[in-house]
Amino acid sequence: MKKIYYLDTSIWLDFFEQRDEPNLPKGEWAQILLEKIIEDDDKILYSDSTIFELKASGYSIHDIHTMFKSIKSVLLFTRATKKQLGKAKDISAKRKIPKRDALHALISRDYNATIVTLDKHFQKILDITKSKTPKELI
């Protein structure tokens, strides 16, 4: 059975920008994970929320499409529903996490995808979805 992964936007940025830190090779882990997903013929789900965050990080829609072009065979796209948006807003307020992190978690859960992140906010929503780091998956 094919696995589905949902990459937090920071993982995409680590991959696109090869963002490594001393003793924390985030870009390298992201690169290896994407290569593994492609090799295993698994899928990566991304959403309009991911696109929004990438644009907010300074990328144009053209840049984003160009970056995704080389891996398009493993990509699946979805749009957040009104229900997911409302629930994310509620979770964000109650648990004091960013609304988009809550939304990513809900989308991941609803598609039975493994969310991949290094973000500690996801520890507050383990009842919604269990997160994995790139290092855990490679």
Q: How far apart are CA 95 and CA 56, in angstroms?
A: 23
User: One digit per residue, pLDDT tens: the chain, 138 residues?
Assistant: 689 999 999 999 999 999 988 889 999 999 999 999 999 999 999 999 999 999 999 999 999 999 899 899 999 999 999 999 999 999 999 999 999 999 999 999 999 999 999 988 888 898 898 899 999 999
pLDDT at position 1, please? 66
Q: How far apart are CA 30 and CA 126, in angstroms?
A: 22
pTM: 0.91
Which CATH superfamily includes the segment(s) 4-137? 5'-nuclease (3.40.50.1010)
Q: How far apart are CA 92 and CA 121, in angstroms?
A: 10
DSSP code of residue 117? -
Cα–Cα–Cα angle for 13, 19, 20, nearest 5°?
Answer: 145
Q: How far apart are CA 69 and CA 58, in angstroms?
A: 18
